Amino acid sequence: MKIKKILKITGITLVVLIVLLAAAPFLFKNKITALIKENINKNLYARVDFKDVDISLLSGFPKARVALNEISVINLAPFEGDTLFYADEVSVKMGIGELFKGSGMRISSFGVDKAKVNILVNSEGKANYDIAKESEENNTAADTPEEGGEDFRFSVAQYEILDSRISYLDEEGKMQFVLEELNHSGSGDLSLKQSELKTQTDALVSFVMDSMAYISKNKVNLDAVLGIDLEKNRYTFLDNTLLLNQLPLVFDGYVQINDDNQEVDITFNTPSSDFRNFLAVIPEAYASNIENVQTTGNFEVKGEVKGVIDETHIPAFDIKIASDNASFKYPDLPKSVTDIRLATDIVNETGLAKDTYVDIRKLSFRIDQDVFNANARLNNITENMYVNARVDGKLNLANLSKAYPFPMEQELSGILVADITTAFDMASIEHKRYENTKNSGTLDLTGFTYDSPEMAHPVSISQANVVFNPKTVKLNTFKARTGQTDLNATGTISNLMGFMFNKENIEGNFTLSSDNFSVNDFMVADSEEKGNGKAPETGEKETKTPENTSGEKIKIPSFLDCTINAAAKTVVYDNLKLKNVKGTLIIKDEKATLKDLRSDIFNGNLAINGDVSTKGATPTFNMKMDINSFDIAESFRGLDMLQALTPIASVLQGKLNTDLSLSGNLNDDLTPILMSVSGNALAELLTSGVDTKDSKLLQSLTSNLSFLDVSKLNLKDVKTYLTFDNGKVNVKPFHIKYQDIDVEVAGSHGFDKTLAYKATFNVPAKYLGKEASSLLAKLSESEKDKMTVPVTATIGGTYSSPSVSTDIKSAVTALTQQIVAKQKDKLVNQGKDAVNNAIGNLLGGQGKDSTATDSTKTKKQQDVKEAARDVLQGLFGKKKKDTVN
């Protein structure tokens, strides 16, 4: 019974303990959270926060695990808002009993997952990691750990850092060091005064100094055993092997941490001298399968780093890289690289960073019979780097990919011959003091072909010759072809060094000539998605305007800042052919400005001044054109713009002169977006005829105006003023002649070819035909010739489907009113004459028939009396009696 009772008590106790262990995290979570935040923020000059705290007592029993989730450390001034540290999780393990201590917790292991550490030293030498608070209380606690002043004590058995990134940027020293994809772990008892720490590290390392990338994401693997002496603060390299890509290096020496500096004494070297070690330094993407490469000769790296590190000093170092009479050949490639010689020293003798120099005393190799040589010395690297270099050699570019597995999208070709010497300092480049640079030598390139997704066709350079002078680079010869275009160029570049080292635009002056220049050869397919013809959400077919369907795109290079004097015998743009093109092209800030560009086209002459810009999302243009003696029919067929401005031009035969000013937006292929165009034009027609067979508008006019034969229109020397905006062309009134008819035309039309015009014909009455024949019969011939009436034709609809209406009936009515009025005037005048004669006779006058016989006189007198009576009755409104029974 006692055994059963003991087992029962034991079981109950275990259950209670398990329940307590499970419940403890919830019971103590608030205390631990408050303790962590209190201690962190009390000791750090930064904002520290985390999303949550996870506490587990069962999973690692008898150890407790505490994890901070999404923890961040945000700097205060002078780095306000910068993130110094962030991690998805930081965890520690400790004995369960440590959770119940108010202070003096012992941490046995820790882990960090997906951390990002951003260390920054600004241009004033201040570091963002200097966030520890200094206080008398903290100093006292640090001096008396045995009295329980510590809140945490490390007795680490192991630790690990997973998938993290550490970035160190020194703005003052112009240096950046980055570790990416970092995985690091270590094990050892760091609570002992003397111990050994075994570590494993792998990462991608990058190193940039003064804008020059010395290492770019090279793979690093380090297995190291460190001797740790906590009393002396000395860390000794005991057994260490570093793989830089696949280059092995071994280390010996130590690092001593003192109160005001650190001492470094390290030596390193390659464990073997095989030239394969050199290929191993090159990133894997450029040096695949080196285990199968045949090599001869040696490659050695050895160096020492010795000295102190403090606010003004770095350790002195001497690193030597050497190879002599080496070679390599990849098994799958036909060529080998031989006679490789390399001698480079990287040295600092004073411990001052500015005194570091790199001396490449020898760099040479041979492929077949082509030998390439180079040497260079770089001084004062950290402050104002001075470069003195020389390149001398010949290369068949096609052999490069036949000897080394370059990851290229296309094969190179051509012969490069260079003999160039240069000397310059970076400060002069940065401040554009190019007179301080010293360049001399020549570079020749023949048979070179270059292809790129940004080019519509490969560019073949048959010959290029460049001469390097102290201040400029002179292009003596440049002969190239791409597609149907041939190019010949000469000129000078005034800032090649600034373009190469200071990210400046190319500045220069060039003369360009071509027998045939096709703009289409410089158009490329738009890299942006054009869609699949479906609306984004509904799936219905998307309606696109013609301006949005272009698959070609032309961009003016942003890196050009130059003036080009160009001449071309033929320029082909879309379906246009321009002859004898000459002018000046100024390219700057993604804008091409045309000055005095002249060309022969459409059997006439064209002069252009203006600009085209592709800097914005939508290209724009602003042009002034002087058009002289264009063949109207031919230019109408070739120019969409002319079709939009003057649709009637398709039926005209003869010449056109115009001064045209216009601006607007462009499609990606630099054709105008018509609805955006605005401007004005003064046009003069020098026509010799009108072709009406294909014009529905003129046919409709003829059918509505029987007197009109449009083939007889006289359009010679017609001038008109046009304005256009918002897709509409407004035409100010102008006059044309049709035989003896004056015609006034005015109105507008849209770029969509809608019409809104009025043509007023000042028509002689004799042309009105049968409608007015009975009226005109009452007039004499001279009266018929002098009498005119306005006839207005209202033109609407579209150019392909016009509507024409006239006011011919109103005109006939107006003519009737004119004739009636004229007859009244005539009768009145006749009546006045009759009255005068009658009155004269009544008064005894003889009248005009005084020589007649008495009987005749009597008869005439009687007629006059009756006529006078009738006129008087008419004048006074009395009706004449009807003499008919």
The reported pLDDT for the residue numbered 859 is 55
Alpha carbon distance 782, 261 (integer Å)? 123
Alpha carbon distance 799, 803 (integer Å)? 9
Q: What pLDDT, in 10s, does the model give residues 686-726?
A: 765 676 666 777 777 777 777 777 777 777 778 888 888 88
Please name the helix (run of DSSP H) or strand (run of DSSP E) that holds residue 378, with its range, or none. strand 370-379
By the 8 A CB rule, do 461 and 448 touch?
yes
By the 8 A CB rule, do 790 and 768 touch?
no
The reported pLDDT for the residue numbered 216 is 77
- pTM for the full model? 0.62
The reported pLDDT for the residue numbered 435 is 76
| Mean pLDDT for all residues in the chain | 77
174 pLDDT tier (thresholds 50, 70, 90) = confident
436 pLDDT tier (thresholds 50, 70, 90) = confident
Task: Compute, in degrees rounded to 10, the torsion defined by CA atoms 770, 771, 776, 777.
Answer: 50
**Lowest mean pLDDT, pick from 101-115, 445-459, 625-639, 670-684:** 101-115
Residue, of 534 and 515, whose pLDDT is higher = 515
The reported pLDDT for the residue numbered 774 is 64
Q: What is the DSSP string of 826-838?
A: HHHHHHHHHHHHH
Tokens, residue 304: 């020492």
The reported pLDDT for the residue numbered 884 is 39
- For 865-885, give one letter per residue: b (16+ CB within 10 A) or e: eebbeebeeeeeeeeeeeeee
Alpha carbon distance 572, 812 (integer Å)? 56
Residue, of 571 and 8, whose pLDDT is higher = 571
Q: What pLDDT, in 10s, does the model give residues 85-109?
A: 899 998 888 766 665 555 556 677 8
Q: At what angle do helices 854-875 and 808-842 cross, to 10 degrees?
A: 130
Q: How far is CA 31 from CA 27, 65, 69, in A?
A: 8, 15, 17
Q: Where are the alpha helices (DSSP H) in 134-219?
A: 136-143
Residue, of 534 and 469, whose pLDDT is higher = 469
Tokens, residue 565: 């004097």
Residue 875: pLDDT over 60: no
Alpha carbon distance 29, 50 (integer Å)? 14
Residue in the block written with tokens 């320029």: 571
What does the pLDDT average to over 100-123? 78
10 pLDDT tier (thresholds 50, 70, 90) = very low
What is the bridge-based pairing of β-strands 524-525 and 506-518? unpaired
3-state DSSP assignment of residue 349 = coil
Alpha carbon distance 758, 748 (integer Å)? 9
Give the single-character DSSP code of 330: -
Q: What is the DSSP string of 662-715?
A: EEEEB-TTS-B-GGG-EEEEEEEEEEEEE--TT-HHHHHHHHH-TT--GGGEE-
Alpha carbon distance 221, 201 (integer Å)? 6
What percent of the residues of the chain are helix, what percent strand, and what percent coil, each to the nearest 5? 25, 50, 25
What does the pLDDT average to over 105-122? 85
What does the pLDDT average to over 593-605? 89
What does the pLDDT average to over 447-473? 83
Residue in the block written with tokens 């000791």: 43
Task: Compute, in degrees rounded to 10, the torsion defined by CA atoms 425, 429, 430, 433.
Answer: 110
- 160: number of Cβ within 10 Å: 16
Alpha carbon distance 396, 128 (integer Å)? 51
By the 8 A CB rule, do 104 and 150 touch?
yes
What does the pLDDT average to over 596-600? 91
The reported pLDDT for the residue numbered 687 is 65
The reported pLDDT for the residue numbered 284 is 58
877 pLDDT tier (thresholds 50, 70, 90) = very low
Residue 336: pLDDT over 90: yes
Most confident of 563-567, 705-709, 810-814, 840-844: 563-567
Task: Please list, in sequence order, all residues whose beta carbon lies within 8 angstroms of the beta carbon of residue 236, skipping any fewer than 6 positions away.
Answer: 226, 227, 229, 253, 254
Alpha carbon distance 69, 91 (integer Å)? 9
Residue 879: pLDDT over 50: no
Residue 733: pLDDT over 60: yes
Task: Please list, in sequence order, all residues whose beta carbon lies within 8 angstroms of the beta carbon of residue 313, skipping any fewer than 6 positions away.
Answer: 261, 307, 351, 352
Alpha carbon distance 226, 233 (integer Å)? 12
Tokens, residue 628: 């002289």
Give the single-character DSSP code of 881: P
Alpha carbon distance 287, 881 (integer Å)? 130
The reported pLDDT for the residue numbered 832 is 60
Alpha carbon distance 681, 151 (integer Å)? 87
Which is it for the CA torsion 541, 546, 550, 556, positive or negative? negative
Alpha carbon distance 454, 464 (integer Å)? 22
What does the pLDDT average to over 576-597? 89
Alpha carbon distance 173, 210 (integer Å)? 8
3-state DSSP assignment of residue 506 = strand
3-state DSSP assignment of residue 877 = coil
Residue 876: pLDDT over 60: no
Q: How far is CA 807 from CA 297, 741, 876, in A?
A: 104, 17, 38
Q: Name the amino acid, one letter, at 398.
A: A
What does the pLDDT average to over 389-395? 94
First to last CA, the chain: 169
Alpha carbon distance 455, 410 (integer Å)? 13
